[in-house]
Amino acid sequence: MDPWSNKRFLVTGGAGFVGSALCDRLADRGASDVVVARSRDYDLTHQPDVEKLFAEVAPEVVIHLAARVGGIGANLEHPAELYISNLLMGTYVIEEARRREVEKTVLLGTICAYPKFTPVPFKEEDLWNGYPEETNAPYGVAKKALLVHAQSNRAQYGQKLIYLLPTNLYGPGDKFNAAVSHVIPALIKKCVEAKERGDAEIDVWGTGKATREFLYVDDAAEAIALATERYDSPDPVNLGSGEEVPIKELAELIARLSGFEGRLRWDPSRPDGQPRRTLDTTRAERSFGFTAKVGLEEGLTRTIDWYVAHREEAEAATI
């Protein structure tokens, strides 16, 4: 498959955080026919809308990024909605791509699909060795079900699908609304606002002992583009930076880069989430040559600068 020239791409979620960065990467590679599916025009949880979208666009390559996501708070408050929305969107996109014989479909999974106590670093082979961490299990299981769907369709119909497992993503364009934000935008917002008010301290969820791995959005977009071009296998692939950081160190780094000099007050009554997260990224490097380029401090600095300059936009996004 010639992945760029003379191909019509459909990117669901293409106007969103990751999707915007990906569309830039596709354009850089010479893709001139990229259609972005927007939620205001098509409800991907509704099968007739998905059928209409594919009929109107007639895509040759589909990259499915659309998802309903949120941090620990959103996962605790809306588990059923997160489960059914993500399951239906992916299911309908996979089936419509099969029915219309789309040349290639790229699916974005989630690190939340891994078992709660997966040995570190997470290897793709460990994906089925236990149940996900409880606070994000509905979202993680829904996404993992799409891997089963993709592998089953490949085996029975020869449908060409690939499945990518990104770690926690961050960067300019992220969601800073408290209802849906993840840990990095939530901490940046707290620190910037506390600095402006002159607060002596801020509250932070959990103990700070849990660890996470983060991938800058431009690196994630590059990884998806490379996989679209070079990868064709039923096996899932981790996308990450390979850099594990305790939440306590992350919060202290964000406070320093934001200029907040007050105290971080940890609230152990709030959940930490999964104890540790970091990925083995060997398969991505070996299979399609991806390695992350943007370090955490550099990426955080860019993200903080973007938030300060685009605060109204950053805090408006709720889906």
For strands 161-166 and 61-64, give the pairing: unpaired
Distance of CA 181 to the CA centre of its chain: 12
For strands 244-246 and 211-216, give the pairing: antiparallel
**Residue 1: which pLDDT band, with cuts at 50, 70 and 90?**
low
Q: Which of 228, 222, 226, 233 is nearest to 63 (CA)?
A: 228
- Count of all residues that appear for the chain in the document: 319
Active site residue 139: yes
- Would you call 15 helix, strand, or coil by DSSP? coil
pLDDT over threshold 70, residue 196? yes
**What Å distances lie between residue 202 and 45, 255, 297, CA to CA?**
38, 10, 21
Domain residue extents for the chain: 9-170+213-244+277-294
In this prediction, residue 181 carries a pLDDT of 82
In this prediction, residue 109 carries a pLDDT of 96
pTM for the full model?
0.94
**Distance between CA 181 and CA 74 in Å, rounded?**
8
- Measured in degrees and rounded to the nearest 5, phi and psi for residue 263 equal -95, 145
Which helix (DSSP H) or strand (DSSP E) does residue 190 occupy?
helix 183-197
**Residue 3: which pLDDT band, with cuts at 50, 70 and 90?**
low
CATH assignment, 9-170+213-244+277-294: 3.40.50.720
* pLDDT tens per residue across span 9-66: 999 999 999 999 999 999 999 999 999 999 899 999 999 999 999 999 999 999 999 9
CB count in 10 Å sphere of residue 275: 13
Q: Which of 114, 139, 216, 231 is catalytic?
A: 139
